[in-house]
Amino acid sequence: MNNNDSGNTVGALLGDKPFGNVLIVGLGMIGGSFAKALKERGLATLYGADRREGELALGVSTGVIDYPAELTEQCIANMDVIVLATPVRAMESVLLEIKPYLKASTLLTDVGSTKGSVVEAAKKVFGEVPANFIPSHPIAGAEKSGVLAANSQLFEKHMAIVTPLFDSDPSLLDRLHQLWAALGSDVVSMDVKHHDHVLASSSHLPHLLAYTLVDALANSERSQDVFKFAAGGFRDFTRIASSDPVMWRDVFLSNKEATLATLDLFTDRLAVMRAAIEQGDGAGMFGVFTRAKSARDHFLRLLEQRTAGQSKEVKPLSMTVSPASAIKGEIFLSGDKSLSHKAITLACLSSGVSHLSNIDLTGDVRITMQAFRDMGVVIEEISADQLRVHGVGLKGLKAPIAPINVHQSSAALHQLMPVLAGQDFPVTLVGEGELLSQPMKELFDLVRAMGGHVMTAAADCLPVSLAPSVPQTVSLVLKNGSKRLHGAALLAMLYSPEAGELRACKYGIAQTKALFAYFGLQVTLDEGVVRLDSAVPQGAQIKLPGDVTQTAWLALSAALTPGSRLAIENALVGDMASPYVPFLKKIGANVRLLGDHSTGFDQGRLEVAFAPLVGFDLSATEVYGLRNELALVCVAAAYASGVSVIRGLSDLPYYYEDRVLCLVDALTHFGIVCEYSAGQLTITGGIPLGGELDCAGDYRLALAMLALGLRSREMTRVNDCQALLEEFTELGSVAAQLGFHCAVVQ
Ligand SMILES: NC(=O)c1ccc[n+]([C@@H]2O[C@H](COP(=O)([O-])OP(=O)(O)OC[C@H]3O[C@@H](n4cnc5c(N)ncnc54)[C@H](O)[C@@H]3O)[C@@H](O)[C@H]2O)c1
Ligand SMILES: O=C(O)C(=O)C[C@]1(C(=O)O)C=C[C@@H](O)C=C1
């Protein structure tokens, strides 16, 4: 070892460099990248050992390491961290060499692609895995090898898996997390066996296929022409066949059981595809290709999000609105998100084909779609807002190959749980982020009421496994549940052996009733009891109406902005239309809703022009009917002449009242006089001042605050608009089309 500082204590060195002395054994592509990344960031003094002296010389001359080293006592005993980066089968001999000199305080880890074999090697050498040996594995790499391929950014925004063992030293484990995090990795913990199975499918099998494909073609009769005419597809598929043969031989020797399992599964699927080609089964092939395409597109989006750092940190977005000149134009609004979600679910569970148009395919609707695709449903995306869904029937879903991941979507979870509880196969649902710590007792109880077996590790939280069960007649009382839970209850009723019922339903069901009717299902509401006749949903053709909240917001915005002439071409008419439109009419707005109303999602043209608004007095019953749009009601009051009274607010569930109180703060901040007492709010109309507001991440509040800024004296800035932009993805283009002066600021 050529360490000039070898006389220094480890503590002193740690003071200079946070990770002290780090030795890499196997200074190739991964070991070199690790060393270079630490060295460039000034985080450690780097030593390298390799059986090829040439690699060490190159490592020093290219600045990847500080010093070449040998596995002597002087070296090993002086290290704070030792990283094994040789091919996995060479690790046992390295462990044998370092064993006599290894201190218990030194963190020993590795970067090998298999973990079970490395743990076995450690057991063989040490008798049991020492507490300071904690295996890890960066999920980043390349088809290159050798120290010259070292890349100091290789691990940034990639995952690093750590596989701690029961007896691993907690402070060294913490150090290992810090080490990978310092190189920019997202660190995740995994069980050794699970790691080897997952990686067998995600990494080992693809390498085997690429090597075998190239080898088979290279030895085929027409190999010269095959390579001559091979283009992008061949190159993309076979890039990894240029990887290091020693490394990959070691991987397959070390992870036999898991690779054979995934290979068998793949071979079976390949046989199915072979049969489909032989039998000219176009529909079968189409099904596989559409599902695979969408699974890959979904995976790429997740990867993009992660590499763009979005899943780590959500940047708060703000929006500004300048007093607009006028809102002018004709517009079609995209379909309601919650209806889109429900329509897709019903279409997947129907017999026959459904055609869904004006569907909102943004955000978590895609998570639900992906889950159904994973369970065998063919969903064709005909255009950005149209789907053709080949329904499989209520019990026709197929067991997914892997657990269903709802990511962070509670909406997707509520759609999927009752449907999965009704199937004849066991299934596991996993999630991510905050969703993992949210108790789902009410939803899980609902599944239990269906007769479902619900198994969770942490009480009523994700992940959850469902086992097939004998279905029970669904009879539920949902006094306090959310609207989503009520939606889930209706789906649960689909699986009830006899007509199910839901008591104490506190939400209007007009929209659900209409949606179910499209699929041939009859929902009735009688004295607070919702019933669903047992029937099999049938494929349907549905054109979803424009989003009701967006319609109400645009109508108010045009009504209070002089010079406005707005037409919304696909506003919902009839019973299901928002009561906000008649409310606007009542307070003097120039509003006309044109269109015949018979059944279902009938749509008409809503025309709005400016007119002065007049103060109003709303009873508790009217306020209940307008509960979703109360923030907009308050904005209307702020611009109306005279005093407006809004009654019965404290009779509403607390979150409606909270939203109104937030808006009252905003109005007061903008100089509008408000008084709130005993659930009654009075607002005296005036001219809002403008300024900065915070919508606390609430989509409806954000819209109301933007409307408030439309005629205020100064520009209005609304902070925390992330949820708004996720819900109303077309806000920018709608604003541009209608002449709003609305902009996003980071
Ligand atoms: N290549 C990838 O994409 C990738 C990704 C993640 C993890 N890994 C893992 O990282 C490790 C290294 O892979 P790589 O791609 O850097 O390979 P590489 O061939 O570039 O480097 C391996 C180095 O180890 C040295 N070596 C071999 N046996 C040795 C021994 N007994 N003592 C000392 N040195 C020895 C070799 O001389 C070589 O320099 C492997 O375990 C591999 O499974 C690779
Ligand atoms: O990107 C590549 O070339 C890789 O092969 C990297 C890859 C992988 O399969 O994803 C290879 C092996 C690993 O252990 C981890 C990552």
Answer yes or no: is 292 within a domain. Answer: no
Q: What atom in ligand 1 is closest to the CA of residue 139?
A: 6
Determine the distance separating the centroid of ligand 1 and the alpha carbon of 32, expressed in angstroms. 9
Residue 101 Cα distances to 75, 131, 240, 421, 653, angstroms = 9, 15, 38, 56, 67
Answer yes or no: is 4 within a domain. Answer: no
User: CB under 8 Å to 682, separation ≥6 — which residues?
Assistant: 643, 644, 645, 646, 674, 675
The reply to whether 157 and 172 lie within a common domain is yes
Answer yes or no: is 611 within a domain. Answer: yes
Q: What is the pLDDT of residues 108-119, one digit of tens each?
A: 999 999 999 999
Q: Mutate which of 111, 117, 139 to test ligand 2's pocket (most atoms within 8 Å of Cβ)?
A: 139
Task: State the complex-level ipTM.
Answer: 0.98
State the average pLDDT over residues 719-731: 86
- End position of a domain, from candidates 543, 574, 594: 543
Answer yes or no: is 313 within a domain. Answer: no
Residue 560 contacts residue 707 (beta carbons within 8 Å): yes
The reply to whether 165 and 95 lie within a common domain is yes
pLDDT-based confidence at residue 444 (cuts at 50, 70, 90): very high
Q: Mutate which of 209, 240, 262 to test ligand 2's pocket (most atoms within 8 Å of Cβ)?
A: 240
pTM of the model: 0.65
End-to-end, the C-alpha distance of the chain in Å comes to 51
Domain CATH for 484: 3.65.10.10
Share of the chain above pLDDT 90, in %: 68
The reply to whether 95 and 231 lie within a common domain is no
Answer yes or no: is 323 within a domain. Answer: no
Residue 727 contacts residue 655 (beta carbons within 8 Å): no
Nearest bound ligand to the CA of residue 109: 1
Determine the distance separating the centroid of ligand 2 and the alpha carbon of 206, expressed in angstroms. 10
Domain CATH for 207: 1.10.3660.10
| Residues forming a β-bridge with 568 | 331, 606
Answer yes or no: is 178 within a domain. Answer: yes
Q: How far apart are CA 203 and CA 403, in angstroms?
A: 18
pLDDT for the residue 8: 37
- End position of a domain, from candidates 229, 259, 289: 259
Nearest bound ligand to the CA of residue 30: 1
pLDDT for the residue 671: 96
Residue 78, token pair as written in the block: 């002086």
Q: Mutate which of 198, 203, 205, 211 to test ligand 2's pocket (most atoms within 8 Å of Cβ)?
A: 203
Q: Mutate which of 29, 113, 204 to test ligand 2's pocket (most atoms within 8 Å of Cβ)?
A: 113
Question: Whose alpha carbon is nearest atom 11 of ligand 2?
Answer: 141
Determine the distance separating the centroid of ligand 2 and the alpha carbon of 669, expressed in angstroms. 55
Ligand 1 residue neighbourhood (C-beta within 6 Å): 25-31, 50-52, 55, 85-88, 90, 93-94, 111-113, 138, 141-142, 145-146, 244, 247, 251
Nearest bound ligand to the CA of residue 206: 2
Answer yes or no: is 329 within a domain. Answer: no
The reply to whether 46 and 112 lie within a common domain is yes
Question: Whose alpha carbon is nearest atom 38 of ligand 1?
Answer: 28
DSSP 119-167: HHHHHHHHSS--TTB--EEES---S--SGGG--TTTTTTSEEEE---TT
The reply to whether 600 and 719 lie within a common domain is yes
Answer yes or no: is 42 within a domain. Answer: yes
State the average pLDDT over residues 404-416: 92
The reply to whether 715 and 593 lie within a common domain is yes
Q: How far apart are CA 227 and CA 212, in angstroms?
A: 15
The reply to whether 381 and 496 lie within a common domain is yes
Ligand 2 residue neighbourhood (C-beta within 6 Å): 113, 139, 141-143, 203, 240, 243
Share of the chain above pLDDT 70, in %: 95
Residue 212 contacts residue 266 (beta carbons within 8 Å): no
The reply to whether 470 and 378 lie within a common domain is yes
Determine the distance separating the centroid of ligand 1 and the alpha carbon of 235, expressed in angstroms. 24
Q: Is pLDDT above 90 for 503? A: no
pLDDT-based confidence at residue 573 (cuts at 50, 70, 90): confident
Q: Is pLDDT above 60 for 10? A: no
Total domains in the chain come to: 4
Q: How far apart are CA 145 and CA 136, in angstroms?
A: 19
Residue 630, token pair as written in the block: 């109360």
pLDDT for the residue 291: 81
State the average pLDDT over residues 322-328: 86
Q: What is the pLDDT of residues 453-489, one digit of tens each?
A: 999 988 889 999 999 989 999 898 887 677 889 899 9
pLDDT for the residue 478: 80
Q: What atom in ligand 2 is closest to the CA of residue 140?
A: 16
85-95 in b/e form (b: 16+ CB < 10 A) is bbbbbbbbebb
Domain limits at 412?
337-543
The reply to whether 586 and 515 lie within a common domain is no
Determine the distance separating the centroid of ligand 2 and the alpha carbon of 501, expressed in angstroms. 53
Q: Is pLDDT above 60 for 447? A: yes
The reply to whether 45 and 155 lie within a common domain is yes
Max distance between CA atoms of the chain, in angstroms, equals: 91
User: CB under 8 Å to 629, separation ≥6 — which residues?
Assistant: 549, 552, 578, 579, 580, 583, 700
State the average pLDDT over residues 517-536: 89
The reply to whether 88 and 204 lie within a common domain is no
Question: Which residue has 């509880």 as its token pair?
Answer: 421
Q: Is pLDDT above 50 for 9? A: no
Q: What is the pLDDT of residues 14-64, one digit of tens each?
A: 557 999 999 999 999 999 999 999 999 999 999 999 999 999 999 999 999
The reply to whether 34 and 116 lie within a common domain is yes
Q: How far apart are CA 739 and CA 588, in angstroms?
A: 24
Nearest bound ligand to the CA of residue 199: 2
- End position of a domain, from candidates 259, 279, 304: 259
